Amino acid sequence: MKTLHFGAGNIGRGFIGKLLADASHQVTFADVNETLIDQLNHRQEYKVHVVGADQKLDVVRNVAAVSSAGHEVIARIITADLVTTAVGPNILDKIASTLAQGLQARFDAGNLTPLNVIACENMVRGTSHLKQEVLKYLPVAYHATLDACIGFVDSAVDRIVPPAAANDDPLEVTVESFSEWIVDQTQFKGKLPQVAGMEPTDNLMAFVERKLFTLNTGHIVTAYLGKLRGYRTIREAIEDPLIRSKVRRAMEESGAVLVQRYGFDPRLHAAYIEKILARFANPYLVDEIDRVGRQPLRKLAAGDRLVKPLLGTLEYGLPSDHLQEGIAAALHYRNADDPQAVELQQLLAELGPAQALARITGLTADSDIVSAIVTRYGNLK
C-alpha cells in the first residue's frame, strides 16, 4: 500500500510512520521542513531506538518525503491508498486545504477507489474535525463523492516520543516500547488496512477517554506539580513520592469516571494506571516538563485532559480533590518561551483567578468548584 503521512517529526517517524513501514507500506512523509525532506530522500531510511525493559535499534527503510506545500503532495494524494497525520492539533487545520486540493484532483483523475484518512493526533475525534475543515475547501459538487469514497477514521494514539537528543544523526528518533493505535472500524471505506499495532474497535470513545483521562491527565499533573517543585523532567518529578502519590490519586479520580461511564473493570484499570506510572519513570526517556506542560490554555480547555475528567466527577458525584489540585498547579505554569503560558499569566493578572479560570475552562466563575480550585491555587503559592 502507498501511504502519505503528514508530519515527519519525531512522532511521525518514530510511531505511525514506523508501524506503517513495518507493515510493508510505501511511506511518503509530507512536511514543511525542507532540510528534513532532503535528508529523508537522500537516505531513504532512519534509525529508531526503542527503549524500555527490552531495548532494540530498528531501521525504517524505503521511505520518501515531499513538501506539504508543493505540487508533489497533490500527486501523492491522487494515488494514495491511505493518508495519515501526526502534525499536532494546532497544525491539523492547516493541511485541510492541501488535502481538499488533492482529493479534488484525485476525483478529477477518475480515481474513485476507497481512501481512508486517519488523523493520529492528541485530540478527541480529530479526523472528524479534519473532515469538516476539508469540506470548507472542497467545492460542494465533490461532497457526495467524498462521502462515498473517502473514509475519515477517528483514532486514539498513545506513545511517548520525547524530543531527539543532540547527536550526529538528525533523523534518529527514540521511542518507548509501549504503543497503542486504536481506530474506529465503523468509519472505514473498503477493507481495513492490515497494520500490526493498529487495533480496530467499534467503541472508540471508551479508548479515547481512557487514554485522555489516564496517560494525558497523569502526564500533565506530573508536569505541573513537578514544575512547582523545580524538576526538569517527567522522570525526576514522578520519582518524588509526594508527586507520584498525587498523580496516582488524580488518575484514580478520572478512572472512577471511566468505570461509571464505560463499565471498565476497576481492577484492570488500576493495573493500567500502574503501567502508566511506570512509563513516566522510564529511565531511558528524557522527557522535559516544559514539553509536556506547554500550551496550558489548550490543556485547560473544557474538552481536554484536566477539565473533562473533572466534569465527569461532577456528573457522577465523585471525588475530585487531586484533579482540582492539578488544575490549580496548571494556573501557576510559567514558561517565557511558550506564548500560551505567557497569555495565561496575563489573564490571571488582569481578571483574577476565578474569572480567568472561567474564561479558559468554561466553568462558572461563582461556582463551588471554581472556588475550590482558586483556594488550592492560593495554597500552592
Instruction: List residues bridging with 49 in a β-sheet.
Output: 57, 174
The three-point CA angle 112-116-121 to 5° equals: 150
- Cell digits for 253? 479520580
Strands 115-119 and 155-158: unpaired
DSSP letters for 240-272 = SHHHHHHHHHHHHHHHHHHHHHH---HHHHHHH
pLDDT of residue 176 exceeding 80, the answer is yes
105-149 per-position pLDDT tens digit: 999 999 999 999 999 998 889 999 999 999 999 999 999 999 999
**CA distance linking residue 153 with residue 192, whole number of Å:** 11
The structure's pTM equals: 0.84
DSSP letters for 207-230 = HHHHHIIIIIHHHHHHHHHHHHTT
Q: Quick one: pLDDT band at residue 90, thresholds 50, 70, 90?
A: confident
Percent of the chain with pLDDT over 70: 99
pLDDT of residue 164 exceeding 70, the answer is no
Q: Quick one: pLDDT band at residue 19, thresholds 50, 70, 90?
A: very high
304-327 per-position pLDDT tens digit: 999 999 999 999 999 999 999 999
pLDDT of residue 202 exceeding 70, the answer is yes
pLDDT reported for residue 79: 98
pLDDT of residue 166 exceeding 70, the answer is no
**CA distance linking residue 300 with residue 91, whole number of Å:** 19
**CA distance linking residue 168 with residue 171, whole number of Å:** 9
Helix (H, G, I), strand (E, B) or coil at 54: coil
The answer to which of 141-150, 170-179, 305-314, 342-351 has the lowest mean pLDDT is: 170-179
Q: Are 102 and 76 in contact (CB under 8 A)?
A: yes
H-assigned helices in the chain = 10-11, 17-22, 34-43, 72-79, 89-92, 96-108, 126-137, 143-149, 204-211, 217-228, 234-238, 241-262, 266-280, 289-293, 296-299, 307-316, 321-331, 339-351, 353-361, 368-379
pLDDT reported for residue 165: 65
Q: Which residues of 333-359 are buried (b: 16+ CB within 10 A; e: fewer)?
A: bebeebebbeebbebbeeeebbbbbbe
240-255 per-position pLDDT tens digit: 999 999 999 999 999 9
pLDDT reported for residue 297: 98
Q: Are 346 and 363 in contact (CB under 8 A)?
A: no
The overall average pLDDT reported for the chain is 96
**CA distance linking residue 363 with residue 357, whole number of Å:** 7
The mean pLDDT value for 25-40 works out to 97
